[in-house]
Amino acid sequence: TQALTARGVKLRTDVDLFDAIWPQRPSLPAAAVFEHAAPHASVARSEKLAQVRRAMAEKGAQWHFISTLDDLAWLLNLRGADVSYNPVFVAHALIGENRASLFIADGKVPQALAEALARDGVSVEPYAKAAEALAALPGGSTLLIDPRRITYGSLQSVPSTVKVVEAVNPSTFFKSRKTEAEARHVRETMEQDGAALAEFFAWFEGALGRETITELTIDERLTAARARRPGFVSLSFATIAGFNGNGAMPHYRATNESHAVIEGNGLLLIDSGAQYLSGTTDITRVVPIGTVSDAQRRDFTIVLKGTMALSRARFPRGIRSPMLDAIARAPIWEAGADYGHGTGHGVGYFLNVHEGPQVISHYAPAESWTAMEEGMITSVEPGIYRPGKWGVRIENLVLNVPAGQTEFGDFLKFETLTLCPIDTRCLDLSLLRDDERAWLNDYHETVRARLSPHVSGDAKAWLELRTQPV
């Protein structure tokens, strides 16, 4: 506010302009909250609260206010359906040294769940009472808040006698570092998701040229395949199925009014993912339609080289994640190309498909809180896009795992989690080094071994065919 005042600007927070232009504004979402229970929730709510309280104590804070929806869901082992594709719910929480309050709309927490929360020292309060609770904080106490994840209006409720400490929410760090049990569940999830993809692609290749397939059909059939898998809850984002020029738009979305029929020659890009009780998936594959040109093969192979380069990297524990971006881009830059989005984003555990604090992108500031730590799950998704022609993006999810210790410190590497063949029909093999071919063959051997027990018939035959060594 001081900066604004110095420039003759007055900041008013007492007026809700939306009230004037949105008279039919909907009320808060009413869907019930549910518990993310064992075995999928491997750390008890009481232990997570204890972790956060220890972090509060390190900051000298007796209170901590949280508004970030995925932080709340993780901390309390709760999930909801208030935001499309993300299993979160609208709420706030005030964490004290011995008690906590969850501020949420009436009727969203079933009685049995409210009683379970109470046993862990969490009371359920009306959503509108959050500001009152902040205003009632005792003078002389210290409140921890994340300035990037709290509204200015909420902060205005805090008495001037309360000291405010600003830092990233401790839960943001804790939830990014998956436990060993969570990593096991995610690996199992990847097997189920990969089996669904095998079923889909087996159908797709068999139906191509025999029936009408559109970008919308792809979404429908792929969603149906995933929905048959155990623990499926929803998609993790709107499926992107882009043929030729549509695939050159990284965030393309087919609609009933505007979509392509899959016919002729070219490249089909499919970026999709799902929410399961045991994990969140996000994968991009590109497949050939008809005849693939030499230029398309070249782009595909160069992008794969970028995916492999980063997937094979070893790096010091604690390195700031944006600094890894150039590893994936180097083969693409060498070819005189680039792409206009980040290379990787953090992924939640049956939570938001985009989460922090890590982000592999030179567009992001390399701040200390972006450090790479063991247990983080991140996407690796370089690309090349030719506007109006075609797009290539190859995306896997990877897990940070130990890579040994030297006199220079602890090192990490990536374990590739995603299990789905990379279509070798799109490759220009002359551009791959022997070690790159070896990585691809090893990956396909793993995919075949891990997915085979989960598929049969046409899907198994497709899996065997698409994982042959090159």
Give me the pLDDT at residue 25, please.
Answer: 85
- Closest to 450 (Cα-Cα) out of 197, 205, 179: 197
Rounded Cα distance, 356 and 70, in Å = 10
* Confidence check: pLDDT of 305 > 80: yes
Region 305-330: what's the mean pLDDT?
97
431: which DSSP letter? G
DSSP-assigned beta bridge partners for residue 287: 268
The pair of three-digit structure tokens given for residue 403, joined into one six-digit string: 């890579």
- Closest to 61 (Cα-Cα) out of 140, 151, 172: 140
Note the pLDDT tens digit of each residue in 103-148. Answer: 999 999 999 999 999 999 999 999 999 999 999 999 999 999 999 9
Give me the pLDDT at residue 11, please.
Answer: 83
The full set of domains in the chain, from first to last, is 12-175 (3.40.350.10), 177-466 (3.90.230.10)
**With contact defined as beta carbons under 8 Å apart, do 429 and 440 qualify?**
no
pLDDT-above-90 percentage for the chain: 90
Note the pLDDT tens digit of each residue in 142-187. Answer: 999 999 999 888 888 999 999 999 999 999 999 999 999 999 999 9
- Which residues have CB under 8 Å from 165's CB, separation 6+? 59, 60, 61, 142, 143, 144, 145
Q: Provide the whole-model pTM.
A: 0.93
Query: Of how many residues is the chain composed?
Result: 470
- Closest to 234 (Cα-Cα) out of 80, 113, 378: 80
Through-space distance between the first and last CA atoms of the chain, rounded to whole angstroms? 62
The angle at the Cα of 413, spanning 408 to 417, to the nearest 5 degrees, equals 170
- Average pLDDT score over the chain: 95
Rounded Cα distance, 412 and 371, in Å = 12
* Confidence check: pLDDT of 16 > 90: no
Give me the pLDDT at residue 108, please.
Answer: 95
3-state helix, strand, coil in the chain (%, to 5): 40, 25, 40
**With contact defined as beta carbons under 8 Å apart, do 283 and 193 qualify?**
yes
Give me the pLDDT at residue 372, please.
Answer: 97
DSSP-assigned beta bridge partners for residue 274: 235
In order of 27, 150, 156, the CA distances from 92 in angstroms are 16, 10, 15
Note the pLDDT tens digit of each residue in 329-350. Answer: 999 999 999 999 999 999 999 9
* Confidence check: pLDDT of 430 > 90: yes
Give me the pLDDT at residue 459, please.
Answer: 98
The pair of three-digit structure tokens given for residue 443, joined into one six-digit string: 């990956």
DSSP-assigned beta bridge partners for residue 124: 102
Note the pLDDT tens digit of each residue in 240-267. Answer: 999 999 999 988 898 889 999 999 999 9
Rounded Cα distance, 208 and 101, in Å = 55
**With contact defined as beta carbons under 8 Å apart, do 438 and 392 qualify?**
no
Q: Buried b / exposed e across 34-69, counting CB within 10 Å, b at 16+?
A: bbbeeebbbbebeebbebbbebbeeeebbbbbbbbb
* Confidence check: pLDDT of 86 > 90: yes
The pair of three-digit structure tokens given for residue 136, joined into one six-digit string: 């009632």
- Closest to 214 (Cα-Cα) out of 196, 232, 251, 239: 239
Note the pLDDT tens digit of each residue in 270-285. Answer: 999 999 999 999 999 9
- Which residues have CB under 8 Å from 271's CB, separation 6+? 239, 240, 241, 282, 283, 284, 393, 395
Q: Which helix (H) or strand (E) holds 337?
A: none
- Which residues have CB under 8 Å from 96's CB, separation 6+? 62, 63
DSSP string of 203-252, one letter each residue: HHHHHBTTB--BHHHHHHHHHHHHHTSTTEEEESS--EEEEGGGGGSTT-
- Which residues have CB under 8 Å from 463's CB, separation 6+? 198, 202, 421, 447, 448, 451, 452, 455
Give me the pLDDT at residue 300, please.
Answer: 98
Region 1-27: what's the mean pLDDT?
85
Give me the pLDDT at residue 254, please.
Answer: 84
**With contact defined as beta carbons under 8 Å apart, do 16 and 151 qualify?**
no
Give me the pLDDT at residue 2, please.
Answer: 79
Rounded Cα distance, 378 and 356, in Å = 9
In order of 78, 404, 448, 450, 464, the CA distances from 461 in angstroms are 40, 39, 11, 15, 5
Total Cβ atoms within 10 A of residue 260: 21
Could you give the strand order of the β-sheet that contains 355-360, starting from the edge strand earlier in sequence? 314-316, 409-416, 396-406, 377-380, 344-346, 355-360
